[in-house]
Amino acid sequence: MIAVLDEAHAPDAKPRPAVDLRDVSKVYANGRQALAEVDLTIPAGDFVFLVGPSGAGKSTLIRLLLRDELPTTGLIRVGSYEVSAMRSRDVPRLRRHIGTVFQDFKLLPRKTVRENVAFALEVTGSPRRLVSTAVDRVLELVGLTAQAEQRPAQLSGGEQQRTAIARAMVHQPRVFIADEPTGNLDPLISWEIIRLLLHINDLGTTVLMATHNAEVVTALRKRVVALDEGRVVRDAVGGYHGSH
Ligand SMILES: Nc1ncnc2c1ncn2[C@@H]1O[C@H](COP(=O)(O)OP(=O)(O)O)[C@@H](O)[C@H]1O
Ligand SMILES: [Mg+2]
């Protein structure tokens, strides 16, 4: 019998994790150590909260995943991307593999909702016909079809964040990273955003969300990774142990 086994069919093959950090440390140029010996594996399809007090290293960890910063030591993989060792010319592909949103929505004020989302695709050279179909699809996903022709100033904070989420999802990323996405939103609107991220996760996207929102973290029985002074101090399902 001749068996041809590729990696995916080998009996001992494990599925590739969505995110993998091995012994990652980050010391900024000013000598500040933001992360220390962080090991973190996020299986594909998971929903993970990243918590911890201000200055714990949450945003630094996210910047390393996006290759906005390089680790001082350690290995970082996102899907098949060796983030800590990749060539700069491959970085745009990594950034399309990861959708990101932040506390501030970073929308272009003169463009409509539709144009803000379309712009993300146009800059990567997508054909016009594909752009309009993809934009319609993500606007429906985030529930903004009716607001498509409005400008950011005409939107509520929650709608602005949903526009940012649509823009981040338009490349159909495998991983979605949100750094304090509800930091500027009131509790009710925050829940709407969380429900949207849970829905995106249900559709198969791995989600990593950094947050101070203890109410949300406690209410949802999801994996919670807690950082303190750059170290992982807790990694368990449920509960919020941030001190601020
Ligand atoms: N660009 C930078 N240069 C120097 N120190 C930084 C820089 N960015 C963050 N830090 C420091 O690194 C630590 C972690 O910051 P950060 O990752 O922003 O934490 P968090 O997002 O959990 O609040 C803090 O002490 C912060 O002051
Ligand atoms: Mg931060």
Q: What is the CATH number of domain 14-82+91-237?
A: 3.40.50.300
**Domain ranges (residues) in the chain:** 14-82+91-237
pTM equals 0.93
Report pLDDT for 9: 55
Mean per-residue pLDDT, 8-16: 67
pLDDT for 152 beyond 80? yes
Q: What is the pLDDT of residues 159-216, one digit of tens each?
A: 999 999 999 999 999 999 999 999 999 999 999 999 999 999 999 999 999 998 999 9
Tell me, using a 6 A CB cutoff, whether residue 211 lines ligand 1: no
Report pLDDT for 69: 97
Nearest CA to ligand 1 atom 12: 34
Nearest CA to ligand 1 atom 10: 34
Please give the radius of gyration of the chain, using alpha carbons only, rounded to the nearest integer. Answer: 19
Per the structure block, which two tokens stand in for 208? 């990593």
**Distant-in-sequence contacts of 65-71, Cβ < 8 A, 24+ apart:** 65/19, 65/98, 65/175, 65/177, 65/208, 66/94, 66/95, 66/98, 66/100, 66/177, 67/91, 67/94, 67/95, 69/26, 71/24, 71/25, 71/26, 71/35
- From the CA of 244, the nearest ligand is 1
Q: What is the pLDDT of residues 30-81, one digit of tens each?
A: 999 999 999 999 999 999 999 999 999 999 999 999 999 999 999 999 999 9
Tell me, using a 6 A CB cutoff, whether residue 68 lines ligand 1: no
Report pLDDT for 14: 74
Per-residue confidence band for 15, with pLDDT thresholds at 50, 70 and 90:
confident
Quick check: 37 and 226 in contact, CB under 8 A? no
Report pLDDT for 243: 41
In whole angstroms, how far apart are CA 121 and each of 55, 96, 98, 102, 151? 34, 10, 14, 19, 18
Pocket test for ligand 1, best of 28, 61, 100 (most atoms within 8 A of CB): 28
Q: What is the pLDDT of residues 83-135, one digit of tens each?
A: 999 999 999 999 999 999 999 999 999 999 999 999 999 998 889 889 999 99
